[in-house]
Amino acid sequence: MMRVKVSASKKSGTSVVEELKEGWSHVSEFAPVRTVLLLFAIISFIGVPYAVLMPVFAARLLHGGPNTFGFLMAAVGVGALISGIRLVTRKSVVGLDNIIAGSAALFGAGIIVFSLSRVLCLSLLLMVAIGFGMMQQFTASSTVIQTIVPEDKRGRVMSYWTVAYMGGVPSGSLLVGGLAYVFGAPGTLRLCGLGCIIGAAWFWGKRHEIWRLLRPIYEELGIIPTPVPANDDRPILWGKEMN
């Protein structure tokens, strides 16, 4: 049902290595893409691997079995579904940068509180919050990046997105497993949640710089209106011209 204008495909004369270098230059030099991608990599590396410890919580801390584990993971899916419904009702990408930071903090806080819970009902509610925060963060980050990246570089930039996830989650799972051997499952989850919150705080501190660079792109794309230039040089104060 989507009406998309299909442009004629053009054969590139550059090699794959050169295209990857060009994509890396855009990722590393353009602050909004670099910051969003770094937070996504942090969440993938230190946050998402929480799932490898769920069997321990289901069996030893919540005193359940396979059914308990299934309920916990299903609760994550419920949170992700709610997140999808919440995002699909949005009419614009404006404000997603704040959602990226807030959802990462929610994800981390949910993991920390979950590590302290020993009641199944409370744990299930917390898993809903964890699934909601995780999906909000992932989807909002992907949407912002795909919106602001030029069309000719989108595939190359998203390849680094895939590397951040596919490389971050397995290596993070290995780290989480090693930490759990030393600090135990609850202590490890608290460290994971704290890492997500620190990442969210770092991103929140960058939001003004990000918005300063995003605003011209949103104006060019017609997402937000372009400011009308003033007729004269008199300063504007509280919406009224100063005489």
- Flag whether 227 is in a domain: no
Lowest mean pLDDT among 82-86, 114-118, 185-189, 219-223: 219-223
- Flag whether 231 is in a domain: no
Q: Considering the entire predicted model, what is its pTM?
A: 0.87
- Flag whether 81 is in a domain: yes
21 SS3 class: helix
CA distance 172 to 209: 29
CA distance 43 to 23: 22
- Flag whether 228 is in a domain: no
Torsion of the alpha carbons at 128, 134, 139 and 140, rounded to the nearest 10 = 110
What mean pLDDT do residues 2-29 have? 76
Identify whether the C-beta of residue 36 lies closer than 8 Å to the C-beta of residue 145.
Answer: yes
Domain boundaries, position 96: 30-219
- Flag whether 12 is in a domain: no
- Flag whether 1 is in a domain: no
Lowest mean pLDDT among 53-57, 114-118, 134-138, 146-150: 146-150
CA distance 65 to 223: 50
CATH assignment of the domain containing 167: 1.20.1250.20
Question: Into how many domains does the chain fold?
Answer: 1
- Flag whether 21 is in a domain: no
Identify whether the C-beta of residue 59 lies closer than 8 Å to the C-beta of residue 111.
Answer: no
- Flag whether 95 is in a domain: yes
